[in-house]
Amino acid sequence: MDYRYTASDVQTILGQALARQHHNEFSEGQLAEMAQELGITPETLDQAKLDWVTERRDVELRRSFDKKQRREFRGHLITYVIVNIFLIGLNIATPGSHPWSLYPLLGWGMGVMLDGAATFGWIDSEDNEKAFKKWKQKQQRLQD
């Protein structure tokens, strides 16, 4: 039976075949030879390589940004815990006062919770995406 394959099918099948042969790396020449055998022009191959490099850089930038966001969140959480332990202790040490330390504990806690939800992607945050784009532009300016 003569099968017809889409470009996506071919990519998947060839990727699996290469993985099974345990090829870990290919030279620039080998890549050019494979592309030529598949009828891919050198210009198309060059554009595909440029796209691949750009995509890899974007993935790495996203990882770096997410790591920075988690580190900043951890700092916010530690500050929240330390300050609120102090406030609760102060509230307990003040005889006859009502539990006023619950107000900053709960109010600030909601902010920390929302920050954590945005940091770890529990909610879809446009602000997080805007912050990433701004940070990415800053990183690219620093590299230039």
Structure confidence by residue, pLDDT tens digits, 50-61: 999 999 999 999
Residue range 77-96: mean pLDDT, rounded: 95
pLDDT at 11: 84
Residue range 101-116: mean pLDDT, rounded: 95
Residue 93 in this model has a pLDDT that exceeds 70 = yes
Quick one: pLDDT band at residue 23, thresholds 50, 70, 90?
Answer: low
Residue range 63-67: mean pLDDT, rounded: 92
Tell me the backbone φ, ψ of residue 119, rounded to 5 degrees: -65, -45
**What's the mean per-residue pLDDT of the chain?**
89
Residue range 78-106: mean pLDDT, rounded: 94
- On whether the CB atoms of residues 87 and 105 are closer than 8 A, the answer is yes
Q: Helix/strand/coil (H, E, C) string of 56-97?
A: HHHHHHHHHHHHHHHHHHHHHHHHHHHHHHHHHHHHHHCCCC
Residue 25 in this model has a pLDDT that exceeds 90 = no
Residue 124 in this model has a pLDDT that exceeds 80 = no
pTM, 2 dp:
0.68
Residue 121 in this model has a pLDDT that exceeds 90 = no
